[in-house]
Structures are given as C-alpha cells and as structure tokens.
A and B are shown apart, each in its own frame.
Chain A
C-alpha cells in the first residue's frame, strides 16, 4: 500500500516534471522574424545580399543574448522577384510560421503586393529597400519604411544638381511602381531647379535588350540620363549605351547600383557614372556611426561575402535591428505590440539614425524614417567621393 502511494507520488512528480519541461522549453523558443526577399529571379543578387545582412544582424543580436531572453530565428522566404509570390510568401509566414513581424520585400511592386496581407492579418512589416512613394501613402498602418522614397532621394540629390551640371535630363526606368515613382519624383525636382526633362523611357524588369530605348534617348540631345533599375539591368544599359555611343552623364537612383559589381561586369562602360547610395562601405568612417559601419564591413568581409553586396546588405541588418528593438520595447513578441512599439523606436543603424515619422492619410499613417543619402562616382575603375560630396 505504502509502496503504491510512493509510486503514486513519484509518478505525479514525473508527470508534473514532464509537463514542466515542455513549458520551460516553450519559454526558450526563439522569437521568429519573417523575411521576404527576391532570392531567385532577375533581382536575386540584391535579395541575397539583403539576406546576408539579416543573418549578420541575427548572429550579432543572438551573441548579445537575443531579445527578451530568447534567441531570434529568421524565417526567410523567396519571393522570386515576383509580386504574386511575395503575397503568398507573406501569407505562409503569417499563417504557418506565425511570425509576429516581417521584413521585406525588396521591390516596391513586391512590397505593395504584400501590404494587403499585413492589414488582413494585422502583422507589421519593416520595409528595407522599396522606394515607391505610394507605399507609405496608402493608409496602411502596418508598414514602417527605413529606405527613402524616391521623393526623399530626389530632394537629397537636389542640392547637388548644380555640381553635377544637369541641364537637360532623360529618364530610363524599370516599368514597375518603383521606376515610375522615381521618374515622377526626380522629374519634379529637375523642373523645380530649372532643368529640362527630355525622353522618359521604360523597360520590363526581365528585359535584356534596351537598344530601342537607347536609340531614342540618343536623339534627344540631353546631357544626363537618370537610370532607375536593378544592378543587372544597369549593367546592360551601360554596356548597350557604350555600344551606341550614348555619351551621357549617367546617374543611377535607388541605391541598388552596387558600383563594384558595375566596374566588374560593365568595365569601361561604367567609367564616370554617378550613383546615389545609402551606404558607403569604401568610406565607412564617413557614415553617421563610423564604428558600427566599420564593424559591419569587417564582419561582411570575414564571412567571405562579396564586397559589392554591401550597399544592399546593410539594409537587411538595419531592418532586423529595427524589428528586434521594437520587440524589446514592446516587451513581448506579439504583432500588435510590435506595431505600437515601432513608433517609439529610435536607434542607430549602419545607414544612420532610424526613427519613424507619420506619413499618409490621418488616422491610418504608415511609418517613414529619414535615411542618409550619398553620391559616389566611378573613376579610374574605382569608387570615389565626388569633390562636391567631400567638401560637404
């Protein structure tokens, strides 16, 4: 009898203990963060660089003890450079993986396709790359953008237009929300500063032959070509521009131009071109937080990632850092609490200070941070700071 009782006590102890163990594990479950990037398809290079940046942020944060005493885990989905795939990736992350926050989705068209899903399920997303103005103007309160919209970028470039000597400009942009948005934003600034706008041409995202557009632009007699697209297409336009003796000053917008990759793949055709960037890995000390920028460049190099990818990779780092800071502020990894906490976030990323201001229709505002903007020039096969940037 006594034996039975002891056995019973032992049994309950085991049962309680047994139940306690999974409960203890549950507390140690990592905090999941969803990431949607183009890992394949025409803009795969950029998406993979951003992914590498998110992994650095994850490892650094986990090495410092994670957040809320838990490690963080990234659930990374491929949107295949396709808006339809981006929307289904978001649905999968939210419904199946139950992530409380997402970072993505690189291209504006992909981000715009994800946005209705955020509203439907009530999950916040930090937008790390997209620059179409419409993203923060739609009245989607789940969107927080750390990349500059084209207007902000155009305004940033505005003060250098005189130094660049732009009098008559043509546009060639990818036929997406991003490309069309950039043409509108930069066109406005140019007109305000008294410069003329000539031809406005578009190309499909997967197009490889831009000779018709270049022939047309060659006929306008302008002095500058503003080019807005992914680095792959920039390479093609530079090469084909050289084939047709385009002979223009070229300025790429959007911060995705990865000048090193252009030097390698377009060679002499990239000489003299200007690029708007949001990170200067060649001159980390010139960044707002020189120490953090330097550490990021060093870690990137240590991992054997291509240097050319740094101008994309930092976005992944800053995006994840922002989400984790919001989770820490919120005190719990829940979508609604993270959304509220994102408004209170104020931190220093690789690009510079990140802090969200309200943008869009009142009552349903999206968050928009104001990032730092830089211009570099390719000279002698090297990336240089133009004189007007250096004297700033």
Chain B
C-alpha cells in the first residue's frame, strides 16, 4: 500500500509535466492543423535557456524560468511567422515536413552550441526530501507540480475567459467563418504557436533541474507529448490535461507492478488500445468535429 501511494504520487508529478507538453501540442494541432514535430525541441530550448540564465548570466532561478518561457514564445513566434505563415492553407503533410526540418535543425544547433555532454542545472530548493509517513518527495518536484498546475490553469483561463481565447476557439471550430467574423487568423496562428512553444519551453525549464540537460532530451519528451495528445483526442485541451496525468500514473504503475523494462511500452500499449477502441481519444465529445 505504501509503495502504491508512492507510485501514485510519482505518477501525478510526472503526469503534470506530460500534460504541459501535451497541451501545447494539442492546441497547435487543433487550431493550426500543424503536426508540430519540433515540439520536443522547444522543450530542450527551455531547459538550455534556464541553464544559460543560471550558469552563465547567474540570474535568479525564477527569473531563469521566466526567461526560458519567453525564449520559447519568441522563437515560436518567429518560427510561425517565417515558416508556417507562407504555408497557410497547404496540406498537413507539407507543414509536417517543414516541422521535421525544424526539429533536425534545432537539435543539431543545440549540439553545436552546447556540445553533447549533459549539463546539470542548480536550483535553490533544499536537497533532503519532504516526508509524510511512508511517502517521500523532493521539494523541487513539488514546485514543478505546482508550477505545472498554475500554467495549466492559466492556459485554461486564457482560452475560456478572454477575448483572445474566444477568437482561438472560433478559429478552431471553423477558420473561414472566424475570418469572416473579423478574427485576424494570422495573429491567432502566431499567438497559438508561440503559446504552445512557450508551454513546451516551460516544461523543459521545470524539468531541466530535475533531470539533466542534453541536446537529444526533446525526443523522448515529444514522444510522450504525442501519446498524451492521442489519448486525450487531437485538439482537446481538457483531454490533454487528463491524458498527461493518466499516462504518468499508468507508466508508474506499469513499471512498478508489471516490469520496469517495459515502462515506455505501457504508454504505447495504451495508444494502440485507444486507437482501436476510441480513435478520437478518450475524452472526445460526440459533437466535436476535426
């Protein structure tokens, strides 16, 4: 039982960051109809920017996190403006190929810039874990969970409570009609891509200090994000949030009670089941189209 509770706690913390990764990816897909293969690279970008701020510019830890999110937003916006806007209305395959190119270019740029040796990010939280009975958790991980929850809640408010969010949802439902109603589609696309990339960079900045930072770190992260998005249904915000938590807990329990060698296989086994049984995702509403 003690072990079970610890697994659930680990899974929740891990799932929070999976959700953060999945939300960015699902928004970009839902609103822009772009399969963002470079999503993992924005995660890596966030981690390296945090490292840059802390180790080289020696700023405050929290400032570094903000800097990382800003770097994701900025590069995301540039990427959308330069590469995706000219392709507006092209087939999904074309933009997918472009994003695969961005993925390869960004990963190799990181390798050139930082070298292949993993970097470690210092953080101001105490090393000894907090304990509650048999449960044990590092303060840093609690902070990561808290920050992830805040970011997810903030995103939810942005999409459901603001004018901009309403315009995003309108674009999601029908791009042409939204344009006819006076929504600036170009602007919505830039904002969406920048926002999604910012969330990915945020996830990288939060997890960088927990793990180690290296150029290929985005690949497994992007894979998880795709699992989350398929679990929750393409373009489904709430689905991505729940999908992230489910994946985190399923991986933990799979590794804990089935076999740790198959930990990553658990996520993909779930995907296969979901695609067979509920191809539009676990949380797809009947009336949603696209």
Contact = CB atoms under 8 A, between A and B. Distances in A.
Contact of A207 (B118, B128, B264): B264
A74 interface: no
Contacts of A268: 127
A244 interface: yes
A45 B116 contact: yes
Interface stretch (A59-67, A209-217, A359-367): A209-217
B137 A216 contact: no
Contacts of A243: 129, 136-138, 141
Select the residue from A47, A209, A244, A265 with max chain B CB neighbours within 10 A. Answer: A209
A144 B129 CA distance: 47
Contacts of A218: 3, 6
Contact of B264 (A47, A204, A235): A204
B217 interface: yes
A44 B214 contact: yes
Given A44-B117, A236-B211, A208 B136 contact: no
Among A39, A206, A219, A245, chain B packs the most CB atoms within 10 A around the CB of A206
A213 B216 contact: no
B256 A202 contact: no
Contacts of A212: 7, 10-11, 251-256, 260, 263
Contacts of A209: 10, 14, 211
A175 interface: yes
Contacts of B256: 212, 215-216
B215 interface: yes
B2 to A, nearest CB: 8
A218 B85 CA distance: 52
A203 interface: yes
B216 A235 contact: no
Given A48-B117, A244-B129, A201 B215 contact: no
Nearest to B14: A209
Contacts of A203: 260, 263
Interface residues of A, number: 37
B269 to A, nearest CB: 15
A40 B10 contact: no
Q: Sort chain B's interface into a size bin.
A: 35 or more
Given A45-B118, A264-B120, A215 B3 contact: yes
Nearest to A78: B116
B143 to A, nearest CB: 13
Given A41-B216, A42-B214, A201 B260 contact: yes
Residue of A39, A212, A245, A265 most packed against chain B (CB within 10 A): A212
Interface in A313-348: none
Among A39, A44, A175, A211, the one with the most B-chain Cβ atoms within 10 Å of its Cβ is: A211
B127 A235 contact: no
Interface in A230-249: 232, 235-236, 242-245
Contacts of A42: 214, 216
A116 interface: no
B118 A267 contact: no
B80 interface: no
Interface string B89-133: 000000000000000000000010001111010000001110100
Given A45-B118, A206-B216, A265-B120, A211 B14 contact: yes
A373 to B, nearest CB: 26
Contacts of B10: 209, 211-212, 215
B263 A207 contact: yes
Interface in B257-290: 259-261, 263-264
B214 A215 contact: no
A81 B6 CA distance: 33
Interface string A166-201: 000000000100000000000000000000000001
B260 A245 contact: no
A292 B90 CA distance: 64
A269 interface: yes
B246 to A, nearest CB: 15
B154 interface: no
Nearest to B223: A206
Which of A42, A45, A47 counts the most chain B CB atoms within 10 A?
A42
Interface string B130-162: 010000111001000000000000000000000
B219 A206 contact: yes
A245 B129 CA distance: 7
Contacts of A269: 127
Contacts of B261: 175, 201-202
A232 B3 contact: no
Contacts of A216: 3, 255-256, 260
B4 to A, nearest CB: 9
Q: Which of A39, A213, A264 has the most CB of B within 10 A?
A: A213
B83 interface: no
B220 interface: yes
Contact of B131 (A45, A232, A242, A245): A245
B216 A244 contact: no
Contact of B220 (A202, A206, A211, A215): A206
30 contacts: A39-B116, A42-B216, A45-B116, A45-B118, A47-B116, A48-B116, A81-B216, A175-B261, A202-B260, A203-B260, A206-B216, A206-B219, A208-B217, A208-B220, A209-B10, A209-B14, A212-B10, A213-B260, A216-B255, A218-B3, A219-B2, A219-B3, A235-B120, A242-B129, A243-B129, A243-B141, A264-B120, A265-B118, A265-B212, A269-B127
What are the 7 A-B residue pairs with the smallest beta carbon separation, nearest first? A44-B116, A212-B255, A243-B138, A202-B261, A265-B120, A211-B10, A208-B211
Given A39-B116, A42-B216, 10 more contacts: A40-B216, A41-B116, A48-B117, A209-B10, A212-B253, A212-B260, A235-B120, A242-B128, A243-B136, A268-B127
